[in-house]
Every structure is written in structure tokens, then in C-alpha cells.
Amino acid sequence: MSDNRIPLAGVIGSPIAHSKSPQLHGYWLRMLGLRGHYIPMDIAREDLETALRTLPKLGFVGVNVTIPYKERILEIADLITDRATLIGSANTIIFRKDGKIHADNTDGYGFLENLRQQAPHWNPKAGPAVVLGAGGAARAVVATLLDAGVPEVMLTNRTRVRAETLAEDFGKRVRVVEWIQAGNAIEEAKTLVNATSLGMVGKPELRVLLDGLRPDCVVNDLVYAPLQTKLLLTAQAAGCTAVDGLGMLIHQAVPGFERWFGTRPVVDEATRAAILR
């Protein structure tokens, strides 16, 4: 392959039409004046491995992987980072020059960078965190909060057994709380994260009791459509710092873009505006 090839990247999922990633990477490529293209690819499960082995031969330097392949990719990849193994899924793939497929998970990084940017005073050590949900996103959040030094994570999920499995993987600093008791846990929280899909357009509202929210709690909703969820509006009314989920989507894309296209993009208001358009 000639070294002069235009670098290609993209996102693999099914369906993929809703993905904001092509808009985001396309915006950065244009803003930075870089050569390169980022393409959405709807690929069937049975074709996933063949596609991943073929894409590098076509000039692809890497891809993002999204629903429903974030776990499956770990069975295909040749090299997996520790954090992807811990979280149990990967979203950022690098096709190495030696032909190996390298898989990483940048969701936790995106989550943390977004919190730091939107709530600069946030102190993970200030007290316990409450995490709602126990799916893939919640796993990345719990791993990252523990790593950042949160003393305890109170984890609650509609399906309790899923929360228990997650807690077992992360040790004693994660305590499972009954879904209907979430309101009590929230009274103690210095950080609250909604990692369920509740509150998203087309999904039911999040109905946990929020009366106990304290103003010194930083509240982050991973849902970004709508941008201002009921949870965030309630948090603002209670005097809390409210952090929306759009920034996580943007920040998780930074490490991949930098590896594939060679320049680290900035995340600013213009970037947010570009993907809200």
C-alpha cells in the first residue's frame, strides 16, 4: 500500500444512520484542513470479522465500533487494552501496520473529560457517587469513577442481578442499592450519573426520586437527546451542577481521531454546535 493513501476511518454498527460520529469527525477534518474521510458502515454480524480484516487493505487506519458490536469486537481483536478488558467492550479500533487489530475503550475517558470540562470544580473524592444503570455505559462510568478516586459507588439498576454482576467485577467500593431505594442513595451523593437510556427521546422518563438531591452534587446525564433532560432540569433547580451527555460523545472520539489522522482535535462550543446542527 502506498504511503500516500488518504487515511480512511469510520464507524461500524447496525443500524448506523443515527450515529453522530460521521458529522463529528467530518467537522474536525474540515476544521483542521486534514486529508481523510470518516464513513458510516452498517455491517451484518456474520460479516463483521471479514469486514475488519478487509478494511485495512482498503486504506482504513481504524474504526469506531458501536451498538451492537462493542462486546463482540473483543473476540475478534488481536490486542485489547486493559481498560477495554475491564469494561468488557471496545469502541475504538486501530489497524496496526503489522496487521494486528488493536481494541480500546475510550468511553470512560470521554466521560471523565466531559465532567472535568463542564464541572471544573468536581472533586471525585468529595463523597459517594450514585450510578443509575448497569449496561455497557454504566460499566465504563463505574470503572472511571473508581479510578478517579470516588470513595464509594452506589449502583442501582432495574434488573438487580445485572448490578450485582457488575459490582462483583469491581470489588468492595461498589455497593448495590435497590432500584426503588435510589432516592435514598441520592441524598448522600456528591456525584450522580444516569447511565440508563431513560429520559432519551422515545424512551420512558427517568422516575427516580430526586427530592434529596443536594446542591453540592454534580449531576451528569449520559443521555444527550434531548440535551436538557428532566434529570438535568431538576438538578439545576436544586442548585446542582448539571452536566449534559453530549460532551462525553465528543470527548470519547478524540483519542481515535488523533491516532488515525495525526492531530488532536479540540472540543469547544463550535464542536458542540456542529453536531447539534
Residues forming the active site: 70
Neighbours of 189 (CB within 10 A): 26
Pattern 202-221, binding to ligand ATR, x per CB under 6 A? --x-----------------
Nearer to ligand ATR, 198 or 243 (CB): 198
Helix 269-276, helix 21-32: angle, nearest 10: 130
Q: Is the dihedral of CA 99, 92, 70, 168 positive or negative?
A: positive
Smallest distance from ligand ATR to CB 264, Å? 26
Nearer to ligand ATR, 142 or 219 (CB): 142
159 near ligand ATR, rule: CB under 6 A: yes
Residue at shortest CB range from ligand ATR: 135
* DSSP annotation of 199: T
Rg (CA), the chain: 19
158 near ligand ATR, rule: CB under 6 A: yes
177 near ligand ATR, rule: CB under 6 A: no
Q: What angle do CA 188, 164, 213 make, to 5 degrees?
A: 20
157 near ligand ATR, rule: CB under 6 A: yes
249 near ligand ATR, rule: CB under 6 A: no
* Region near ligand ATR per CB under 6 A, out of 7-15, 36-44, 131-139, 267-275: 131-139
245 near ligand ATR, rule: CB under 6 A: no
Find the binding residues for ligand ATR in span 5-64 (CB under 6 A): none
Smallest distance from ligand ATR to CB 194, Å? 9
Nearer to ligand ATR, 63 or 200 (CB): 200
* CB within 8 Å of 164: residues ≥ 6 apart: 176
136-151: b or e for each residue (b if 16 or more CB lie within 10 Å)?
A: bbbbbbbbbbbebebe
- Stated as kind and residue range, the H or E segment containing 194 is strand 191-194
Q: Characterize the bridge pairing of strands 92-95 and 60-65.
A: antiparallel
Residues that bind ligand ATR (CB under 6 A): 133-138, 157-159, 162, 195-198, 204
